[in-house]
Structure 1
C-alpha cells in the first residue's frame, strides 16, 4: 500500500501516527538482531518504517533484502531509501524493479552522501546528479506505482546557497512527483515550524513529517547535531553537567524527545518520524510518554502482511499464532488468500518450510541451551522449561518465536500449573465475551466494536495425560478436542468443519472472524510442530547423550492436542485438565455454596469457615482475600483496597506491605522492593506469609491456600 494513502487517512481521521527508521547492520549477527528488534517494535504499530541506503550504494542488496523480508514477513510497510551516489541508471532500474517485484511501493528518493573517503558528491557516469532527477526518472519509468518521499532540511541543505533557495529546490521535487516530505533531524522546534510556513508560502502542500532523533550519548549527539544546524542553548546547558554519564544523557534524551514531540503535536503536526539508530528503548519511552502507544490499535488479532497480493487476507488458522513467519512462508505460493471465511479442503496446500532468518529462531546454540537446559534428563526438566516460558523467564520456545501476548497474563498462572503437570502448552488464548475493541489487552479492529474469543489451549501431552483430557472433555458439553501423534494416529470428538475462535462485531460491518480452527490446517501444522522437537531442541545435544534421547522420546510418544471451549460466556477450559496434581500444592480448607439470589457486595467482609475475607472482582470472576496482616497483628481496613493500574492491592498501613492481586493470583511483597521483584517475575519474597484467597466461579466458593509463588 502507498504510504501517502495511509498518511492522508490518518490526517482525515485526526489520528496522530509515528514511523521508524532503521539502517542495515554490517554483520550477520547484527542483521539477525535487527530482525528481532523490528518484530518487537512492530507491536507498537508504526504507520511505516524506512531502511537507509549506505553511502555510495554500499548496502544496496542488504537494504532491498531487509525491506522485502520486513514487508513480507513482519507486516511492516517499508519505505526504501534510494540514492544517486555511485548508481548508474541501470543499477537504479534494477533496484526499482526488485522493489516492485517484491511488492514494495514506497521509495525515499535522495541524492545521497559522498562515498566513504570522499568529501564531495560527484555524479557517476550514466547516473543522476540530484534527487529531482531520480524523482523524475521514477515517475517517467513507473508512472504512479511508487509513492515517493523526499528529504527536507529545516535549516537548509549544507550545499544550498540559503534556506529559501533550498526550499525552491524542494518545491521542484514535489512538482516532479514527490508525495510527502521527511525532514532532517533537528532540535530547535521553532526552526521546523518556520520551515513548514516557508514551504506552504511557496505552494508546497504535501505532508511534512518532522524527523526526531533521541539523544543516546553525548558524543553521538555532537556528531549528529552538526548535520542539523542550530541547537538551543537550553539543551547544551542541560547536557554539559551530565555529558560523561551515558544513562543520564539517555534519560534526558527521552525527556527532551517527549517535550519536543508534544510541542509538535500540539501545533498540529500529523505524525512523527523517529530516527531509531536501530535502538528501541528511547523511542519506546518517548512514544509511551506521549500516550501514543496506548491508542495504537491492532487491525486484526494477528499482524497482516503488507504485500499487495495478501491485502485482502482476513482469516488465518490459530495454530501458527506464535510462528507467524512460518505461516507466511508456507502460504507464499498461494494465489488467493482467505477473506471473510476460511476456504474448503480443496484450497491450496501448505508448502514446505524454507530455510531463512525468518523460519528459525534467532537464538544461538548457547542461548538456546541457556533457555531450554544444558542437559535435560527427566520429563520434569522439560516441564520446567515450558513453565518458565509462560511465566516470562524464558523468551522463546521452538514453537513460540514471538513475545508472550499481553492477554496471556490473564491466564498465566493457569498455564504454569498445567505445564508443571506435563501438559506442555505451545499456544493458548483466554475466553473473551464482548470486550471493547479498544481494550488494551484484548482489543483489535476499528473503534466502537466488541471482540470475542473462545478459550483455546494447544499442548503436547503424554498418552496418560491425553487419556485424562479425553475423559474430561467427553463430560464437558461445549468442549472439542483433536489429538494426533507424530505418526498420524488421531483422536477427536469434532468433525472436519471450521470453528471460529476469534471474532468481532463493528458498526456498519459484517462480523469478522479472523482466527479459526480446522482439521486440515491442524494436520499440516502437526508435522511442523513435531519436527521442531528435533531440529530446534534435540539438535543442541550430542547424538549419544541422555538429553538427545529424552527429546526424541517425547517427540516419538507424546500427542499434540488442540482444545476449544465453545462456551465463551462462562465456560472453563481448565476443567479439561486435572489441576489437582502432586506438584501443585494446595490444601482445601473449606467449601461454601452461595445463594444465587444473594448479591456479593464488593468491599464487604464475608466470613467463610471462620475466616473474614474481603471480596473483590477482577474481570468476570470474584475473589476474596483474608483481611489479616501477620506483622501488624490485626485486620486491614476495607478502605485500604485499591485498584492500581488494573492490579488490586491491599496495603498494610503499618508496615507498607502490599498484597498484589493480578488476574486472581496473589503476590505479597514490600512496596519498596517493587522494582527488584516485579509482578511478572512471580518472585518469592523473604518472610512471605501464607495467603488465603478464594475463587467464586459461578458463585461456588473454593477456598484454598497457595504457598508456591
Structure 2
C-alpha cells in the first residue's frame, strides 16, 4: 500500500498514530542488531518507518538493504529518503529502480546538503532543489511512487527570507508531493501555526511533525545547532542543569517528547514521526507514556504463557536483549560499541556543514605547510577558533585538564582529533567528568587520537611498540594499511575499553570502546574529511595540492594508556624526534 492511502485511513479514523525513523548503521554487526531492534519495535505497530540516505549516496547500499528488510521481512510500510544534490542522475535512477524491486513504494524527496567545492555547478545533474527530484520521479514513474517532501516550520537554515522559503515549500508540494514530514519540533505551538498556514495556502496533503526524544546532551546540542530550531527556554535550562547526568538527560528528553505529542494531539495533530537515532529505550517510554503503543503490544524479550513459569532459555534470551540495550544507554562519542545500531550517531567527524569555501578560508586559512596545519590545531585546542574540519564544536570542558599537553603535542606536529584524561573513581555526578546515573563512579584511560605526518610515523610507532602491555594502539592510513598491538588471538575481535562506570544496581557499563571495526569505520571518514577540505580550494591551487599530499602521507593513530592510575605517562610518547 502507498503511504498516502495509509495516512488517509489513519486520519479518517481519528486515532493517534506514529512512525519511526532509522539510519543505516556504520557496521555489519550494528545492522544485524538493528534488525532485532526493528523487529521488536514493529510490534508497537508504527504506521510506517523511514530510512535515511547519506549525503551524495554515501549510504546507498545499506539504506536500500535496510529498506528492503523493513518492507519485505518485517512487513512495515517503508519510506526511503533520497537526496539529489551532488548525485549523478544514474545514481538516482539506480536507487529508484532498487526501491521498486524491493517493494518500497514511498520516497521522501530531499535536496540534501549542497557541496562546498569549487568544481560543483549547481544544477549540473538536473537537480537543484527537492522540487526537481519530485518532478523527475513523477515524470519517470508516474504515480507508482508515493512521494513526500520535508517541511520547515521555522524556515530552512540556508534561507533568511521566510516568505520566499515558504513559497519554495509550496512549490515542492505542488510539484507532486503526497505527504510532508516536518523538521524536528521542540515547540509544538510553532508547528501548529505553520500547519494552519499551510492549510490556508491550500496545501491539503498530510503533514506529520518530527519529534525527537533527546538522548544525550552533546547530540542535542549538535542537532540544535545544525537545524537552528527553536528550543523552549525551560527545556534548555533543564538539559543544561542535567548535562552531567546522562540518565536525567534521557528522562527529560522523553518527558518533553511526551508533552510535545500531547500538545500536538490537543491541537488536532494526530500523527507524529519519531526520530529514533537507532535507540530504543526512550522511544518505548514515549510510546507508552503518550499512549501511542497498542494496549497489548509485544514487548522486548521472550515471555512464557500467562501463569506459567518462564523457561530458562527464554530468560537467557531476555537477558541478552537487555544487555544489548545497555550498549547505547550512555552513548559517548565516536568510540561507542561498534555492535550497537546507534554506533556513530552521536559525534560524527566534520564541521564541513558549517562552511562554504569562503567561510572555511576565513576560519582555517590557506595552509601550505605542515607548520600551518599545526598552528591551526594549536589555535583550536587553545580555544581561539571554535571548529576544525574534524570537529564542529569547541573542546569539551574535561579537556581543560590536559589543555597544556594538547597544545604542546599539536605544536610538535601531532594533530589531535580526540582525547581524554585518565580518571580513577570520579563521582558520576561530577559536573565536568561525570556521566550516567547518580551514586556511581566513573573511570577513564588516557587516550589520544591524532594524525601523524608520514615522515614522523616510523619513530612514533617504535615508541608505541616499546611500551607493549601498557600502550594499546591502532593505526591506519589512507591507502588501507592497518596495524595494532591489541592483545587477542584474533585482532578483529580484540576490544579496548576506554571508559567504564560502576553504578548501584547495574552491571559495569562500558560506553566507549575501540576495536578494529570501529577504528576502520572512522578512519574512512577521517581521510574523507581531508578530501572535503582540499576540495574547498580550486583545482591547481597550492593549498589543495598540499592537503591532498598530506592526507596521502599521514597516519591516523589511536593511543590508549592502560595504566589509568598514572595519568600523565601517555604524553611522554609525543616528542620532537
Give me the TM-score of the superposition, normalised by structure 2.
0.51
1:413 pairs with one of 278, 300, 309: 309
Q: Structure 2: how far apart are the matches of 1:222 and 1:120?
A: 32
**1:227-277 deviation digits (Å, cap 9, x = unpaired):** 142211111121222111111110111111111111111111120100000
Cα distance change, pair 268–150 in 1 and its aligned pair in 2 (3 A): same
Shift of 1:83: 0.5
Residue 79 of structure 1: aligned partner: 79
Cα distance change, pair 120–180 in 1 and its aligned pair in 2 (3 A): farther
Shift of 1:160: 2.1
SS of 1:50 mapped into structure 2: strand
Cα distance change, pair 38–168 in 1 and its aligned pair in 2 (3 A): same
SS of 1:272 mapped into structure 2: strand
Cα distance change, pair 180–32 in 1 and its aligned pair in 2 (3 A): same
Cα distance change, pair 119–271 in 1 and its aligned pair in 2 (3 A): farther
Shift of 1:126: 2.4
Residue 261 of structure 1: aligned partner: 261
**1:21-49 deviation digits (Å, cap 9, x = unpaired):** 00011111111111111111111111100
Cα distance change, pair 184–416 in 1 and its aligned pair in 2 (3 A): closer
SS of 2:50 mapped into structure 1: strand
Residue 38 of structure 2: aligned partner: 38
**1:459-488 deviation digits (Å, cap 9, x = unpaired):** xxxxxxxxxxxxxxxxxxxxxxxxxxxxxx
Cα distance change, pair 10–120 in 1 and its aligned pair in 2 (3 A): farther
| Residues 156, 163 of structure 1: 8 Å contact kept | yes
Residue 362 of structure 2: aligned partner: none
| Residues 132, 173 of structure 1: 8 Å contact kept | yes
Q: Structure 2: how far apart are the matches of 1:6 and 1:284?
A: 23
| Residues 21, 50 of structure 1: 8 Å contact kept | yes
Residue 193 (1) aligns with residue 203 (2):
no
| Residues 57, 85 of structure 1: 8 Å contact kept | no
Shift of 1:200: 1.4
Residue 104 of structure 2: aligned partner: 104
Q: Structure 2: how far apart are the matches of 1:208 and 1:159?
A: 22
**1:519-563 deviation digits (Å, cap 9, x = unpaired):** xxxxxxxxxxxxxxxxxxxxxxxxxxxxxxxxxxxxxxxxxxxxx
SS of 2:308 mapped into structure 1: helix
Shift of 1:182: 0.3
**1:368-427 deviation digits (Å, cap 9, x = unpaired):** xxxxxxxxxxxxxxxxxxxxxxxxxxxxxxxxxxx888773315328679xxxxxxxxxx
Cα distance change, pair 409–52 in 1 and its aligned pair in 2 (3 A): same
Q: Structure 1: how far apart are the matches of 2:276 and 2:83?
A: 20
Residue 11 of structure 2: aligned partner: 11
Q: Structure 2: how far apart are the matches of 1:91 and 1:212?
A: 30
SS of 2:305 mapped into structure 1: helix
| Residues 55, 114 of structure 1: 8 Å contact kept | no
Residue 293 of structure 2: aligned partner: 293
Residue 217 of structure 2: aligned partner: 218
Shift of 1:223: 0.9
Equivalenced residue count is 312
**1:578-618 deviation digits (Å, cap 9, x = unpaired):** xxxxxxxxxxxxxxxxxxxxxxxxxxxxxxxxxxxxxxxxx
| Residues 184, 212 of structure 2: 8 Å contact kept | yes
Shift of 1:53: 0.3
Cα distance change, pair 219–254 in 1 and its aligned pair in 2 (3 A): same
Residue 66 of structure 2: aligned partner: 66
SS of 2:8 mapped into structure 1: helix
**1:632-684 deviation digits (Å, cap 9, x = unpaired):** xxxxxxxxxxxxxxxxxxxxxxxxxxxxxxxxxxxxxxxxxxxxxxxxxxxxx
Shift of 1:159: 1.8
**1:326-362 deviation digits (Å, cap 9, x = unpaired):** xxxxxxxxxxxxxxxxxxxxxxxxxxxxxxxxxxxxx
Q: Structure 2: how far apart are the matches of 1:17 and 1:107?
A: 20
Cα distance change, pair 149–248 in 1 and its aligned pair in 2 (3 A): same
Residue 151 of structure 2: aligned partner: 152
| Residues 195, 207 of structure 2: 8 Å contact kept | yes
Q: Structure 1: how far apart are the matches of 2:154 and 2:67?
A: 30
Residue 164 of structure 2: aligned partner: 165
Structure 2 gaps of 5+ residues are 314-577
Q: Structure 2: how far apart are the matches of 1:64 and 1:243?
A: 36
Shift of 1:56: 1.6
**1:153-179 deviation digits (Å, cap 9, x = unpaired):** 110011224222222111111111101
Shift of 1:135: 0.2
SS of 2:309 mapped into structure 1: helix
Which has more radius of gyration? 1
**1:282-304 deviation digits (Å, cap 9, x = unpaired):** 11101100122134779xxxxxx
Residue 247 of structure 2: aligned partner: 247
Residue 270 of structure 1: aligned partner: 270
SS of 2:80 mapped into structure 1: strand
| Residues 43, 297 of structure 2: 8 Å contact kept | no
Residue 179 of structure 1: aligned partner: 178
| Residues 114, 121 of structure 1: 8 Å contact kept | no
Q: Structure 2: how far apart are the matches of 1:33 and 1:405?
A: 14
Residue 432 of structure 1: aligned partner: none
Shift of 1:127: 3.9
**1:663-707 deviation digits (Å, cap 9, x = unpaired):** xxxxxxxxxxxxxxxxxxxxxxxxxxxxxxxxxxxxxxxxxxxxx
Q: Greater shift after overlay, 141-150 or 236-245?
A: 236-245
Q: Structure 2: how far apart are the matches of 1:162 and 1:240?
A: 31
Structure-to-structure mapping, 1:522-537, within 5 angstroms:
none
Cα distance change, pair 173–294 in 1 and its aligned pair in 2 (3 A): same
After the TM superposition, which segments of 4 or more aligned residues of structure 1 sit over 3 Å from their partners? 117-125, 294-298, 403-409, 414-417
SS of 1:412 mapped into structure 2: coil
| Residues 188, 232 of structure 1: 8 Å contact kept | yes
Q: Structure 2: how far apart are the matches of 1:404 and 1:186?
A: 28
Q: Structure 2: how far apart are the matches of 1:139 and 1:176?
A: 9
SS of 2:68 mapped into structure 1: helix
Cα distance change, pair 295–14 in 1 and its aligned pair in 2 (3 A): farther
SS of 1:408 mapped into structure 2: coil
SS of 1:258 mapped into structure 2: helix
Q: Structure 1: how far apart are the matches of 2:172 and 2:84?
A: 14
Q: Structure 2: how far apart are the matches of 1:201 and 1:12?
A: 20
Structure-to-structure mapping, 1:197-596, within 5 angstroms:
197-226=196-225, 227-295=227-295, 408-410=304-306, 412-413=308-309
Q: Structure 2: how far apart are the matches of 1:62 and 1:184?
A: 24
| Residues 107, 147 of structure 1: 8 Å contact kept | yes
Q: Structure 1: how far apart are the matches of 2:2 and 2:252?
A: 36
Q: Structure 1: how far apart are the matches of 2:151 and 2:64?
A: 23
Q: How big is the alpha-carbon RMSD for the aligned residues of Structure 1 and Structure 2?
A: 2.4
SS of 1:126 mapped into structure 2: coil
Cα distance change, pair 73–119 in 1 and its aligned pair in 2 (3 A): farther
Residue 685 of structure 1: aligned partner: none
Q: Structure 2: how far apart are the matches of 1:50 and 1:183?
A: 13
- Choose between structure 1 and 2: higher helix proportion: 2
Q: Structure 1: how far apart are the matches of 2:269 and 2:120?
A: 33
Shift of 1:112: 0.7
Give me the TM-score of the superposition, normalised by structure 1.
0.42
